[in-house]
Amino acid sequence: MSRINSFLQVPPSNEFPLNNVPVGMAKFRGRSEKFACTRIGDFVIRLDVLESSGLLRLPLTADDSVFATSSLKAFVSSGPAVWQHFRSSIQGIFGEGSSLAGDDRVSHCVRPVSDVDITMPMEIGAFTDFYSSKHHAANLGRILRGNDNPLQPNWLHLPVAYDARASSVVVSGTPLRRPRGQIRPTPEASPEFAPTRKLDAELELGAIIGIANSLGAPVPIEKSLSHVFGFVLLNDWSARDIQSWEYQPLGPFLGKSFCTTISPWIIMTEALDPFRRPVGVQEPQPLPYLFTRPDYLFDIELEMGLKTPTMNDFEAVCQTNALNLYWTIAQQIAHHTSNGCNLQVGDLLGSGTISGTEQGQLGSFMENSWNGTRDVMLTNGERRRFLLDGDEVRLSGRCRGSDYIIGFGDASGKLLAPIEPVGS
């Protein structure tokens, strides 16, 4: 697919050409009212205004507008036919050569992105975090259990996951506080309640569910990907020392639930279709309910950047690719619903940390510092093993077409000192 040009000025290097058409929510600076929008270049398009003008007509079964409220849920739940019609309509209205260029009804919808604050794109109903990168899982196995059999016996047979906390999922730009919890500094020591000393970031991809399944009705793997509305970047911040003490036998809890950051634009699955790549060989072959061919991963370049308080800009500490996942999103959904669990519109599924095989491709500080035993060196001479107060982490992602780029927008957050307990 080639670049789709717009009569709006979109530089070739901009990550929001008409090939993208993401959706999100925004509000004007100093205002509280939110509105649904898409983005073309450095402009946001108010979808409520465009729809009320009559230019954007969606094939709905009811007369109600999907963009009249301050939520994307009605649109996301409207189904693939409406999603596809929406994308083609936006591309037609704003495409190069459109007869609507200069039309007042269009110009009233268009504002510079600098005029607005991009907010949380979606109400997250539930959040499940998977563990789907074989390189990452093997690295953590070697760190925690040694080089012999680094993967747990079940890992190559099913997409391992845990139910995470939806209420602490925040949009890019939201600062987070260093959490406190029980930690045990050495295996011989008694536990203490203290701020985490091993605050980590995790480079992940998140999927937003757009089609629900009924309770008791598993989703066949052949249909799983069609249940995904779109994708975001996801940083599942982790307190590794809290996690290591608490997680056995039931898994992560307070070491994960304090904050998860997502990018503000939902990149619709159709925009990523040109970047589907067949999944590689999985050995042993998954059980039939998890096996279909073709099955796909997405060719998405991913980067984690770090900016310390003394730095003027971010420095890349990880560059990897979503192709480094082992388990696909289709397999994740098929497994998640295999027992009859009902996914709902707006549910968020995290891929788990995405790591490659080389040092510069490791998607967490846990791996980069090998659990704090070696330094991550920065070009200004600073070094990190885990994150310090004042550090800021930024995730970015992009797909490269023949003559265009599709970007996700950043998922960033700054680490602040913990709030002092009441009465301290």
CATH code for the domain of 333: 3.90.850.10
Q: What pLDDT shows up at residue 405?
A: 98
| Distance from C-alpha of 305 to C-alpha of 159, rounded to nearest angstrom | 28
Are 94 and 202 within one domain? no
Q: At residue 424, does pLDDT exceed 60?
A: no
| DSSP-assigned states of every residue in 276-290 | EEE----SSPPPGGG
**How many domains, in total, are found in the chain?**
2
Domain that holds residue 114: 24-119
CA distances from 135 to 131, 227, 325, 353 (A): 10, 27, 8, 9
∠ CA 132-137-140, rounded to 5° = 150
Residue 179: pLDDT band by 50, 70, 90 thresholds? very high
Is 134 contained in some domain? Answer: yes
Residue with tokens 């480079």: 203
What is the C-alpha separation between 99 and 96, in angstroms, rounded? 9
In angstroms, the Cα distances linking 128 to 215, 234, 318, 332 are 17, 12, 24, 10
Torsion sign (Cα): 357, 361, 362, 368: positive
| Final residue belonging to a domain, choices 119, 135, 170 | 119
Query: Would you say 397 and 271 are in contact if contact means Cβ atoms under 8 Å apart?
Result: no
Are 92 and 148 contained in the same domain?
no
Q: What is the pLDDT of residues 127-136, one digit of tens each?
A: 999 999 999 9
Q: Does residue 424 fall inside a structural domain? A: no
The enclosing domain of 84 has a CATH number of 2.30.30.230
Tell whether 361 and 303 lie within a shared domain.
yes
C-beta separation of 307 from 258 below 8 A: no
In terms of domains, do 330 and 402 share one?
yes
Same domain, 93 and 176: no
Q: Are residue 267 and residue 137 in the same domain, yes or no? A: yes
pLDDT class of 149 with cuts at 50, 70, 90: confident
Q: From residue 87, how far is each of 7, 29, 39, 81, 84 by CA, in Å?
A: 16, 27, 12, 10, 5
What gap in Å lies between CA 392 and CA 386, rounded to an integer? Answer: 12
> 254 and 387 share a domain?
yes
Average the pLDDT over 166-170 and give the result.
98
Active site residue 136: yes
| Alpha carbon distance 113, 45 (integer Å) | 9
> 22: which DSSP letter?
-
pLDDT tens figures, 354-395? 999 999 999 999 999 999 999 999 999 999 999 999 999 999
Is residue 246 domain-shared with residue 361, that is, in the same domain?
yes
Residue 373 CB neighbour total at 10 angstroms:
8
Residue 10 lies in a domain: no
> Residue 216 CA to chain centroid, in angstroms?
28
Q: Are residues 201 and 53 in the same domain?
A: no
Same domain, 235 and 86: no
User: Do 146 and 230 lie in a common domain?
Assistant: yes
Catalytic residue chosen out of the listed positions 135, 136, 227, 335: 136
Report strand pairing: 392-400 vs 411-416. antiparallel
Quick one: 242 and 365 in the same domain?
yes
Among 68, 85, 119, identify where a domain stops.
Answer: 119
pTM: 0.96
